Amino acid sequence: MHGRKRLPVGHTPDRSKDQAKREKLKQLLSDTLRDHHEKCYTKEALKKNAQLLELNPEFYTGWNYRKLAVRHLIDAETDEAARKNLLDEELLLVERALQVNVKSYGAWYHRKWVIEYGLSPLDHEFMLLRRLLKADARNFHGWNYRRFAIEKKGVTAEEELDYSTEKINENFSNYSAWHYRSTLLSRVIRDKKSKEEILDEEYKLVNQAYFTEPDDQSAWFYNTWLLGETKADSDAEPQVAETWPENGSSISVNNQDGAFPLTISYKTIVNSEQSFTSRTLPLVITFKEMVSSVVAMVRSQPGMENLGEITWRPLSAVSVPSKTWVADLPIQLSCGGEYTVFLEVSSPPADQVTSVSFKLIIASGDSAHPRKEMDPKAFSWPGKLPSEGELEADTASKLVRLNMDESTAEAGCIKQDSTVLPRENWQEKLLEAQIEILRDLLELERNSKWPLLTLARVLAVHGSSSFTEEVLELYKLLSDVDPDHGDYYKAQHSCLYIDKITRSRDGLKKLWWDCQGSLSSGWLRCNELGLHEFKFVERLLWVQRLDLSHNQLRTLNGLEALQLLEALDVSHNKLPSVTSLASLRLISGLQYLSISHNELGSHPVDFSRYSFPSALTNQAPDHHGKGSGNIDGNWDIQAVFGGMDLKVLEIAGNTAASNEKFRKSILKALPSLKLLDGEEV
């Protein structure tokens, strides 16, 4: 065991001393518990308690008893000098206890408790800490206590930075000192004027560290924090990510027979005509960060009735806060004509206002884009559509699959973009300087993990599209250089890849399969892209049919923002349980869902209940009845699918699909279901 000397062969240890120590400890423990129970706070009782804590500083009840006893003695003492002597004795006891175990939580907390009285000099505390952190520079108790001490003494963060610099220069591998420095700088950074200079100096310090020790992770972690601070200066950016309807779009509302529901038509950004039926027009706002409330005003020109009654609700499985908020715009059948609808959203920081406007054309009579009533039997999944060779030439040309494994550079080579980008602000200057430095380091450490990973992160934070291909290549190379973390690099690669594709109209066109005349026309096909997580859904609020099959998805969180979604294929993924589908409950118009060939029923423990925020998190198993849950034991099915309006569902290929009780629970939760795995219900 660690810290135990190896004895010579044949040597018999003398256990008599250990036995005597155990007996003494046992007696002291019994005395302290008795004194604690009887509230005996005499000096003799405190002396025996001190002996116990010096032998075993981890006896937390002993420290609690001592606090009660010392407080009793201090309250009874009127002389301040005598009170100070009592507290000084406590500080000496803590020092003796720390000599036994320097990482004793009880001892450090007791020392803070004593210092809080304000009768002990703090200079001695700093001397003690200097000795401690010199002996053990990574003792987190010492660093935490130092934060406490400088706050009590009123030492400024700027003054304390000198100490962190001293400890870092002593040892670049001291991660505790780097972390301590980040907490100090977070308090120092107040405005842009000083922030630029501060971060520039910090980058110089960390550059020196990883050029000295390129394989040590401490400086690289600190560099990641610096990147976050460099990127965080975005006060001028509005926090609204996207809206639907989009700014400048045109929405047509047609009433074919003079009654609800209405047929709502619009043109997507890939120039495809889409339509759906609804009683109201959904308004969707997505934010870059979660918000707890929304201030959004809706008005129109000419004016429409009931706009002042619009209520915004969060689209989140856990109520608020939420990134996505939705409201229903009422449409009066009698108000035919053309309207311009204005949406004004106030968002932090500084309550910035984002303005969106779109045209709303309300027409009665025959619809210009009549809605075809889908027959569930005729519905086709994207994977079952005609092959490319069977499609007409103009349709086939729209099916362009992108291979994420294609590389424009030879294996092991990193493409360097020699284009000098315009330096519009100080953030770009800092980032571009770091890019140059990291590339210089890679000339010396070509296959070093940390320079490669940090260069990928810096390029990603820079945000220039000219760096996208290089970052993708870096993550490919990292998978070979550091195979133990290959899944992480593949996930980063896939996330960046879908970012690249969804960022532009041309990229989305390559994923769009518009099979006119088919009941399942207009699929956005993001299948076989190796996606571990589907992000950037705010760019796809217009999508009605989405193919995410043959990826690596374990959760569908975020898809609730797609309020127009009516068909979803997430077959051949790694969805572990029914609760991983919880976000789909919030999509009221979803009618066609394929979750076949996932991992439902393959895991004895449903970790997704606790891994992802959800209303199902920590939900008691007996939610639908006392005892063992609902009648068939599948409470999660009712919790997720209950209230949904699915017409077609595919579950084949999951372990749970062969369980008859599971299938019956599905049918019970979905009374609207017409087809289950292709068979009529």
* Rounded (10°) angle between helices 449-462 and 217-231: 0
Last residue of a domain, one of 500, 534, 566: 500
Number of domains the chain is built from = 4
Residue 271 forms part of a structural domain: yes
Whole-number Å distance between alpha carbons of 389 and 671: 39
Tell me if residue 644 falls in helix, strand or coil: coil
**pLDDT for position 188:** 87
Q: Are residues 530 and 627 in the same domain?
A: yes
Q: Are residues 287 and 164 in the same domain?
A: no
Give the CATH number, domain containing residue 52: 1.25.40.120
Tell me if residue 510 falls in helix, strand or coil: helix
- What tokens appear for 261 in the block? 């529901």
Interior/surface letters 562-600, b for 16+ CB within 10 angstroms, e for the rest = bbbbbbbbbbbbebbbbbbbbbbbbbebbbbbbbbbbbb
Give the CATH number, domain containing residue 432: 1.25.40.10
Whole-number Å distance between alpha carbons of 260 and 142: 70
Q: Are residues 191 and 261 in the same domain?
A: no
Residue 393 forms part of a structural domain: no
Q: Are residues 142 and 111 in the same domain?
A: yes
- What tokens appear for 502 in the block? 């969804």
Count Cα atoms within 13 angstroms, Cβ side, for 189: 21
Q: Specify whether the CB–CB gap between 586 and 560 falls below 8 A.
A: yes
What one-letter code names the amino acid at 132?
L
Last residue of a domain, one of 206, 231, 256: 231
Q: Specify whether the CB–CB gap between 550 and 532 falls below 8 A.
A: no
Residue 466 DSSP code: G
**Domain coverage including residue 156:** 17-231
Over the stretch 324-360, which tens digit does the pLDDT of each residue have?
A: 999 999 887 667 788 999 999 987 766 788 899 999 9
**pLDDT for position 622:** 38
Q: Specify whether the CB–CB gap between 582 and 615 falls below 8 A.
A: yes
**pLDDT for position 485:** 93
- What tokens appear for 362 in the block? 């309300």
Whole-number Å distance between alpha carbons of 475 and 454: 11
Q: How far is CA 396 from CA 139, 340, 348, 379, 533, in A?
A: 64, 37, 46, 20, 28
The whole-model pTM stands at 0.76
- State the DSSP H helix or E strand holding residue 17, giving kind and residue range, or none if neither: helix 16-38
Give the CATH number, domain containing residue 624: 3.80.10.10
Q: Are residues 539 and 488 in the same domain?
A: no
Residue 340 forms part of a structural domain: yes
Whole-number Å distance between alpha carbons of 390 and 387: 5
Residue 402 forms part of a structural domain: no
Whole-number Å distance between alpha carbons of 330 and 304: 9
Q: Are residues 173 and 306 in the same domain?
A: no
What one-letter code names the amino acid at 69?
A
Tell me if residue 555 falls in helix, strand or coil: coil
Q: In the chain, which stretches have pLDDT less than 50? A: 1-2, 234-235, 367-369, 371, 387-423, 612-615, 617-632
Residue 444 forms part of a structural domain: yes
Q: Are residues 226 and 245 in the same domain?
A: no
Q: How many CB atoms lie within 10 A of CB 672?
A: 10
Q: Which residues pair with 371 in a beta bridge?
A: none
Tell me the chain's radius of gyration from C-alpha atoms. 33
Q: Are residues 193 and 255 in the same domain?
A: no
Distance spanning both ends of the chain, measured CA to CA: 64
Whole-number Å distance between alpha carbons of 555 and 578: 10
Which residues touch 37 (CB under 8 Å, ≥6 apart)?
none
Q: Are residues 456 and 553 in the same domain?
A: no
Q: Are residues 80 and 218 in the same domain?
A: yes
Residue 406 forms part of a structural domain: no
Q: Are residues 180 and 251 in the same domain?
A: no
Which residues touch 674 (CB under 8 Å, ≥6 apart)?
376, 647, 648, 680, 681
Last residue of a domain, one of 207, 231, 255: 231
Q: Are residues 470 and 615 in the same domain?
A: no
Residue 654 forms part of a structural domain: yes
Residue 418 forms part of a structural domain: no
Percent of the chain's residues with pLDDT above 90: 52
Q: Specify whether the CB–CB gap between 669 and 641 falls below 8 A.
A: yes
- The residue whose two tokens read 């979905």 is 670
Over the stretch 196-242, which tens digit does the pLDDT of each residue have?
A: 889 999 999 999 998 998 888 999 999 999 998 888 754 456 688 99
